[in-house]
Structure 1
Amino acid sequence: MSLKIQPILPRFGAECSGLDLTKPLDDKARRDVLEAMSTWGVCVYRNTGLDDEGHIAFSRNFGHLELAPARKGGKSRLNHRELFDASNINAEGQINTDPAAKTYRKGDRLWHTDSAFMDKRSSLSLLLAHEVPEEGGETWFADTRSAYDDLPQDMKDRLEGLVGRNSLWWSRKMGGADIPLETVNEGPIALHPIVHTHAGSGRKALFIAAHTVDIEGIDHEEGCALVRELIEFATQPQYVFSVKYAPGDMVIWDNLCSMHRGGDFDYDNERRDMRRTTVREGTEPYARLDDDPFTDLFKSIPKTVDLTGTSSDNEKTRQNA
């Protein structure tokens, strides 16, 4: 069987079919999947039949898988550290009502790129739906290559050489967590160019997100305003679409040429069980247990964000980078 592609927007997003993702990919199929990702940036695969082990095995075709932060004791909901938990479910299998967890998750409703707050950027994210709410809970995607293409030339000139300062605590602050700007600036900051050349396509793309605090070497307020302007430009209707899930659906997106955000749903009453693998930029095939930057990052959680308590809800939240 061969990969079949149905574009969603003229330059961005595709519904893909024709491959059995539960079976090993041969070299041609792997190349086809990667070519589709390079061309379309976001690819949707319906009714994949994947379980956790199959999800991880399929993801390993594309490089080094990041590991979710290690937990100190307590019960874990997921059995594999290659899976980041993007659900509203706690370790006991119940809807997570912990206020800190709910505040933390609000940051996911902002336009962002996964792990932009890390020094080593993430390339592909592979999100598999296990349970979905009846209404809402979709994911929205934005095309940062086409948005860059369409920027006025004077803005392109202005962005040349600018570097963004990125922090997980900043996006959580923007989502409502009580984190002072001083705490953000004292914590881990990842520096990434605001514009880069996307390796898969050779096209230039914006690399901005809710994680982007401001611009290195520019006044904070001016840098924030520029980041907001770029996000607003890149999320105009002609650049965005949403994906509504059914159990078994998988969406793969390239963080280096897109942004995304979660859609609203009835968090307190409906279950949404989503699990994500994340491929680091580069070509290493396997994660090593001693390659664990997320655990190191989460050791620096601000005290104003109560994610380090002993409750299972707080422990679970630590895995949701």
Structure 2
Amino acid sequence: MALKCEPILPNFGAVCSGLDLTRELDADEVKQITDAMDKYGVTVWRDTGMSDEDHVNFSRNFGYLERVPKRPEGQRTRLPYRELFDASNLNLEGEITTDPAAIEYRKGDRLWHTDSAFLEKRTSYSILLAHITPPAGAGGETWFADARTAYEDLPQETKNLIEDKVGVNSLWWSRKKAGAEVSEEEVYERPVAKHPLVHTHAGSGRKSLFIAAHTMDVEGMDKAEGRKLIEDLIAHTTQDKYTFKWQWQPGDMVIWDNLCTMHKGGEYDYNAYKRDMRRTTVREGTEPHLMETGDDPYTALFSKSPKSVDINSARDAGR
């Protein structure tokens, strides 16, 4: 079958149709999707009819899937596959969570960010499927920003400044920025990941910014100057001309390439509406047949959670 793409912005985002994503795709169909992703950065798929199993199987077409932290043997989890990251506001019983740590952790999702920038091995695709969404007009959309066109439009002086700069990224920094009670000392005591602020996007050959809420410092720059630069670059990239939002309906799926985009969750009444969103994340540079790598970065990362955003304890509280 032939993939159809309707652009959202001239060079960024497209609503796609024409493929049945619930069945096994052939190599040509997978290439059609990756070509669309290289061109548009974000593809939107309406009313997919996908189950959790379909979601995971589809995602494996694009590389190794990261997995959520291991749970002790016999302990319940809400979702059936470790490859599914729970981006909802629900507890294990499927009800709206009231656990403070879980609520604090999720606030960081509503800052402009790139998934897993706080890990040494970056995420390429994030694949988010909506199961339950707030009603129309109640918020809960997701915003996307075009980091390639934004880079291309920077003044040459700024391009020269950031060409060889490296950003220092921390999960706990973004949670602190979102209001969690995490001290700067606690942030620096925990793992960080370093990535260039500018890189060449492999699929398109275009240069792109790689920077957002997880980026707390710029190596070799004064701390205050580096943070001002980070904020300026985020503000530049998230101007209206580079962004669009998607208002979800159940069954919708969005794929975005973290290596050429930023995104953030939209505001909604967290206590009034269920929002059940499930995400797979594809590791950069892995081949589809490499399903097991033997490493487990999320288990190690979350074992060092500050108490105010201790996501492991928050999950336990929902049992």
- TM-score class normalised by the smaller sequence: over 0.9
Alpha-carbon distance in 2 for matches of 1:310, 1:152:
45
Aligned to 2:221: 218
CA deviation vs aligned residue, 1:220-276 (integer Å, no higher than 9, x gap):
111111000000000000000000111111000000000000001111010000000
Cα displacement (A) at 1:190: 0.1
Query: Do the aligned partners of 2:17 and 2:45 also contact (CA within 8 Å) in 1?
Result: yes
Aligned to 1:165: 168
Query: Do the aligned partners of 1:101 and 1:313 also contact (CA within 8 Å) in 2?
Result: no
CA deviation vs aligned residue, 1:24-80 (integer Å, no higher than 9, x gap):
111111110000000000000001111000000000000111011112363210110
> TM-score, normalized by length of structure 2?
0.96
Cα displacement (A) at 1:306: 3.8
Cα displacement (A) at 1:173: 0.3
For 2:246, give the aligned amino acid.
V
Query: Do the aligned partners of 1:121 and 1:281 also contact (CA within 8 Å) in 2?
Result: yes
From 278, 283, 291, give the equivalent of 1:280. Answer: 283
- Structure 2, gaps ≥5 residues long: none
Aligned to 2:88: 87
Alpha-carbon distance in 2 for matches of 1:289, 1:89:
30
Aligned to 2:53: 53
- Structure 1, gaps ≥5 residues long: 316-321
Alpha-carbon distance in 2 for matches of 1:26, 1:253:
21
Inter-CA distance 304–89: structure 2 relative to 1 (3 Å threshold): closer
For 1:292, give the aligned amino acid.
D
From 183, 187, 195, give the equivalent of 2:190. Answer: 187
Q: Is 1:75 equivalent to 2:79 in the alignment?
A: no
Inter-CA distance 221–79: structure 2 relative to 1 (3 Å threshold): same
Alpha-carbon distance in 2 for matches of 1:272, 1:258:
23
Alpha-carbon distance in 2 for matches of 1:279, 1:305:
25
Cα RMSD of the aligned pairs, angstroms, is: 1.4
Aligned to 1:301: 305
Aligned to 1:319: none
Aligned to 2:262: 259
Aligned to 1:318: none
Q: Is 1:143 equivalent to 2:146 in the alignment?
A: yes
Query: Do the aligned partners of 1:66 and 1:287 also contact (CA within 8 Å) in 2?
Result: no
The correspondence of residues 171-250 of structure 1 with structure 2, limited to 5 A, is: 171-250=174-253
Alpha-carbon distance in 2 for matches of 1:49, 1:309:
33
Three-state SS of the structure 1 residue aligned to 2:233 is: helix
Cα displacement (A) at 1:284: 3.0
For 2:155, give the aligned amino acid.
P
CA deviation vs aligned residue, 1:200-233 (integer Å, no higher than 9, x gap):
0000000001000110121211111100000000
Aligned to 1:124: 125
For 1:231, give the aligned amino acid.
I
The correspondence of residues 102-121 of structure 1 with structure 2, limited to 5 A, is: 102-121=103-122
> TM-score, normalized by length of structure 1?
0.95
Q: Which moved more, 1:91-100 or 1:5-14?
A: 91-100
Q: Is 1:292 equivalent to 2:304 in the alignment?
A: no
Inter-CA distance 308–44: structure 2 relative to 1 (3 Å threshold): closer
Cα displacement (A) at 1:288: 2.3
Alpha-carbon distance in 2 for matches of 1:281, 1:38:
14
Query: Do the aligned partners of 2:108 and 2:178 also contact (CA within 8 Å) in 1?
Result: yes
Q: How many residues align?
A: 315
CA deviation vs aligned residue, 1:166-209 (integer Å, no higher than 9, x gap):
00000000011111111111210100000000000000000001
Inter-CA distance 48–121: structure 2 relative to 1 (3 Å threshold): same
Alpha-carbon distance in 2 for matches of 1:200, 1:290:
27
Query: Do the aligned partners of 1:168 and 1:211 also contact (CA within 8 Å) in 2?
Result: yes
Cα displacement (A) at 1:312: 3.3
Q: Percent identity?
A: 60
Alpha-carbon distance in 2 for matches of 1:191, 1:280:
16
